[in-house]
């Protein structure tokens, strides 16, 4: 099963991707995670991406297309994969088609803008293993440490109110057109992402089991 998780910043793509990959035993691939890792380790890609990500813009299509093409060629993707945060522009969707990849379902997590800022301002991520928390909705049982690996929790640099607004604007302008692109192909499945994490997972699993 080849899946795409589509949705605004903070819609819950990463959260659902992590959960579904366990259910389906296929990897969830986040271009955001790959880019942040490149920034952390100071690679040329990271140096190029840092200023763009910190401002809430998009890394050039050809750069992310190359990352995804390389990642999808790896062994663990041969039985299926979940793409989180890619494609994010129409040219990226066309590039994915040109890679000869068939997408089975596009899971569109719908969350109103009004909820996004609260979600992202309260998000904390583990600086060790990258696990995601929310101070209210999904707190770590170890307080300000990660309950999985014990490392410190931090706030993502692009989770500042002004950067969140910029990311949302980028999303509406460049990514939202993909909703109609995939609806036109009969692959789009809408999920109410404004409910609890558990309810969004249940809705997603019903879609994957073909019950909706």
For this structure, is 36 an active site residue?
A: no
How far apart are CB 67 and ligand AP5 at their closest, in Å?
A: 8
At its nearest, how many Å lie between ligand AP5 and the CB of residue 145?
A: 16
Which of 36, 119, 124, 167 does the annotation list as catalytic?
A: 167
Q: Which of 29, 32, 50, 107 binds ligand AP5 (CB under 6 A)?
A: 32
> Do you find a cis peptide bond into 112, omega within 30 degrees of 0?
no
Out of 36, 119, 123, 124, the active site residue is: 123
Interaction pattern, residues 153-172, with ligand AP5; x per rule: CB under 6 A: -----x--------x-----
Site for ligand AP5 in 81-110 (CB under 6 A): 85-86, 88, 92
Start-to-end Cα distance in the chain: 16
Q: Would you tell me the crossing angle of helices 61-72 and 44-55 to the nearest 10 degrees?
A: 120
- The answer to whether residue 53 forms part of the interface with ligand AP5 (CB under 6 A) is yes
Distance between CA atoms of 160 and 156, rounded to whole angstroms? 8
40 is catalytic: no
Which of 69, 71, 148, 156 is catalytic? The answer is: 156
- Evaluate whether 194 touches 111 at the Cβ level (below 8 Å): yes
Annotation says 71 is catalytic: no
User: By CB under 5 A, is residue 14 in contact with Mg ion?
Assistant: yes
Position 9 contacts ligand AP5 (CB under 6 A): yes
Q: Where does residue 11 rank: exposed (0-12), middle (13-18), buried (19+ CB within 10 A)?
A: buried
Active site residue 119: no
Look up tokens 């410190």; give the residue: 152
Beta strands in the chain (DSSP E): 2-7, 28-30, 81-84, 105-110, 123-126, 132-134, 153-154, 188-192
Helix (H, G, I), strand (E, B) or coil at 138: strand
Based on the residue annotation, tell me whether 148 is a catalytic residue of this protein: no
Instruction: List residues near ligand AP5 by CB under 6 A.
Output: 7, 9-15, 30-32, 35, 52-53, 56-59, 64, 85-86, 88, 92, 119, 123, 132-134, 137-138, 158, 167, 193, 195-197, 200
**Active site residue ranges:** 13, 88, 123, 156, 167
């Amino acid at each position: 099963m080849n899946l795409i998780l589509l949705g605004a910043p903070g819609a819950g793509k990463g959260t659902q991707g992590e959960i579904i990959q366990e259910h389906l035993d296929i990897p969830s691939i986040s271009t955001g995670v790959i880019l942040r890792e490149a920034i952390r380790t100071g690679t040329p890609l990271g140096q190029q991406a840092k200023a763009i990500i910190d401002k809430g813009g998009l890394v050039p299509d050809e750069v992310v297309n190359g990352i995804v093409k390389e990642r999808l060629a790896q062994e663990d993707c041969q039985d299926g994969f979940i793409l989180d945060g890619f494609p994010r522009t129409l040219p990226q969707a066309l590039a994915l088609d040109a890679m000869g990849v068939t997408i089975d379902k596009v899971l569109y997590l719908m969350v109103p803008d009004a909820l996004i800022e609260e979600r992202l301002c309260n998000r904390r991520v583990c600086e060790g293993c990258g696990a995601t928390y929310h101070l209210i909705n999904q707190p770590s049982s170890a307080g300000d440490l990660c309950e999985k690996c014990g490392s410190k929790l931090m706030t993502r640099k692009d989770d500042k109110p002004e950067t969140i607004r910029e990311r949302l604007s980028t999303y509406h302008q460049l990514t939202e057109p993909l909703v109609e692109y995939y609806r036109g192909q009969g692959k789009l499945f809408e999920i109410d992402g404004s409910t609890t994490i558990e309810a969004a997972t249940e809705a997603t699993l019903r879609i994957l089991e073909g019950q909706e």
